[in-house]
Structure formats: C-alpha cells, structure tokens
Structure 1
C-alpha cells in the first residue's frame, strides 16, 4: 500500500480531507464515484479508505443492495476539522479564498430572496463575511456564538443563541472555523437545510440519513 500513497505530506492530508468530506456527505456512494470526485485513481481511494478505517476515522455499515456504507466516527469528524483548519492557517490564503466564497455565497443568498442573515460563529471567517456583506445588500443582524465573551464584534451584536436575535432573519451563514460541522448541523436542525448557508471551503453538506 505504501508504494501508491503520495509521498508529499500536504498532498496526503488533502486527499484524506477530501475523502472524509465526501464520506460525510454520502457514505453509501461507491469508491469509484469518490475517485472521480477527487480526481484520483480508484486504488488510491481504496488504500486511503482502508487506512482511515484502521485509524478509527471511518466505520463500515450495511447499505441497501448488498453494498457497504461508510460513516465518519467522532475521531473522523475531529480529524476533518483539524485538516480544514490546517489548510486555512495561512492568513493570506484564508482571507483571499474566504472573501471570494462569501462574496459568491451572498450573491446566492440575494438571488433566493435572503436579505437579513445571522452569522454562526465568531472567528476570522466571521470578520471576512461581515466585510463582504458591507459591499452588498445583505444585512448582518447578529453573530450567534455561545462561547463568545464580547457583546459586539466589528460593530455587530454578539449573542449566545438564535433566540436572542431581536429581529427576524432569513438565513444562517456559518462562520465558525473549528466547530463548523456542529454549528452547521445545529442550524439545519433548527431552521432547515435551505436556510443554512456555508462557504465551500468548510466542506459542509447536509448529512445523508444512515441506511438511506
């Protein structure tokens, strides 16, 4: 197996992140489909999947039509979050990529009739999202973060829960960096997937029901 794995650690980590992101979105998809999505050889996906299972990042279950399904374990979610933060640790790269993606996200929000949003999570991403919103018709009403200590951030009110947002809002925009999946899932549970938006760089998609 070692002979077919990338020797560059950065490439290897990117492949692991891509694999975990793909399995999180749809654990019942075939390895061939994952390989096509990631743009790598089928054998490489198979090798990395076996390694992820061995490390405890992924568990195997049954799916319809005598197929296997793969699910991320708590360790797998933690590893995915760690790798995401690692790739965004370069402040310039983070700013450039996040600015582009939040700009596109707000354009999509506007096209869907969303004008008033709350941001979920106080972080560097939150600051970038606020700056992007200033350039368009999107109004940021509040930042929701139960762990935040400040009451305002770059002029925007910070509250500990959605219930404390004083005005009606159209959508939730994920801006948490280290706990993005948890924040995303909670928002989807509260408001529905159609009203929760996240930039592609966070690799977040609604989970597929197990056994579906």
Structure 2
C-alpha cells in the first residue's frame, strides 16, 4: 500500500464519517497543505469515489458514492494486509535482534520507546529467556503497566543491553543515551 492509497483511505473514511468536513481539517489530519487536499478531493471526485456538492453559505459537502464505498473497502483490505505484513516483519526482526543479544550473553534488557514497536519488543522479549529491566522514554507515566523512566536514569540500572524500539528517531535516541552515559556497545537498534 503506497502513501497515496493511505491518503485516499483516510479521506474516504473522513468523508464517510462527516460529509460536512472542511478541507482545512482534512489538511490538518493528512499533514499536507490545504491546496494539496483540494487536489486530492478533486481527484477522488473525478474517479467517482466522492460527490462534491455546494450547500448554502459557500459550504461544501462531500458524499461517499457506491464506487467510493467499494474503493474504501478495497483500500481497507490492502491496509490490513500491509499492517499484518509489517507486524510479521517486525516480529521476525525483533526475534533476530533479541536472539543475537541472548547469544552474546545479555539477560537484562531495557527498552527505549513507548510506541507499537516497543510493545512488540516487550512481547518478543517475554517469549525468550530475557528479563525486562524497564522502559525508558522522555514521557512520564506508565507503559504496559510499567513505570516510565527518563533516559538519564538508565546509567543507574543494572542491564546488559538497551533496545531502541523506535525506527524513526533511533539515531537521536542513541545520541541521547550516549550523552546520558550509556556505553555505545550496550545500545541496540533494529
């Protein structure tokens, strides 16, 4: 599923939920410019997926057409396939990384991150003979019923490795860990 399919699915979902949705709110949800949102909506209308009607006070209403509903179903199916494939790939990647840590003698692992990848890392870790020391992140609170600790607390812990469970910010997090005093050789990324 490419980025355009993801945007189309998001637009079709938004139009289905709220026919009077504004282009400005759609642009904000998509994270794109207002003019680009207008082009996306016109493209969906040209394909027959939505109908654009004007209502009083220069307001626009978007209606999902039967063809649009069919396209939304198709895109939802593709999204589910993509998500399951991504999940399986990440689980396999985590298994390889954690197996490598275990073979190197690591037993006590700290996980840095609080997203879906951190959750998958936790599940994978529990399936192996490894112990979770805790979760570190910039946020306060809890994650999976564990307290969250700041990265700066990590050097005071007894751990064999830190797994960075964030693909997008891995380099930035690694720099923060090193700056906090975590030895580079104890830091693992995916």
TM-score (norm 2): 0.51
For the 8 Å contact 2:174–2:187, the answer to whether it is kept is: yes
Tell me which residue corresponds to 1:98: 90
Tell me which residue corresponds to 2:99: 107
Which is helix-richer, 1 or 2?
2
Shift of 1:132: 0.1
Moved beyond 3 Å, runs of 4+: 164-167
For the 8 Å contact 1:120–1:173, the answer to whether it is kept is: yes
Gaps of 5+ in 1: 1-8, 11-89, 200-212
Q: Which has the higher contact order (CA 8 A, sep 6+)?
A: 1
- For residues 161 and 193 of structure 1, the distance between their equivalents in structure 2, rounded to whole angstroms, comes to 14
Tell me which residue corresponds to 1:126: 118
Q: Which has the larger radius of gyration?
A: 2
- For residues 129 and 177 of structure 1, the distance between their equivalents in structure 2, rounded to whole angstroms, comes to 12
Q: Secondary structure at the match of 1:172?
A: strand
User: 5 Å matches for 1:37-76?
Assistant: none
- For residues 159 and 92 of structure 2, the distance between their equivalents in structure 1, rounded to whole angstroms, comes to 23
Tell me which residue corresponds to 1:52: none
- For residues 153 and 119 of structure 1, the distance between their equivalents in structure 2, rounded to whole angstroms, comes to 11
Tell me which residue corresponds to 2:65: none
Tell me which residue corresponds to 1:192: 183
For the 8 Å contact 2:111–2:165, the answer to whether it is kept is: yes
Assess, with a 3 A threshold, how the Cα gap between structure 1 residues 184 and 91 changes in structure 2: closer, same or farther: farther
Query: Which string of whole-angstrom CA distances, capped at 9 and with x for unpartnered residues, describes residues 102-159 of structure 1?
Result: 111111111111111111111111000000011011111111111x24x221233311
Gaps of 5+ in 2: 4-81
Tell me which residue corresponds to 2:142: 152
- What is the number of equivalent residue pairs in this alignment? 110
1:143 has 2:144 as partner: no
Tell me which residue corresponds to 1:51: none
Which has the higher mean CA deviation after the structures are superposed, 104-113 or 171-180? Answer: 171-180
Tell me which residue corresponds to 1:53: none
Tell me which residue corresponds to 1:25: none
- For residues 126 and 165 of structure 1, the distance between their equivalents in structure 2, rounded to whole angstroms, comes to 20
Which has the higher mean CA deviation after the structures are superposed, 188-197 or 175-184? Answer: 188-197
Assess, with a 3 A threshold, how the Cα gap between structure 1 residues 171 and 152 changes in structure 2: closer, same or farther: same
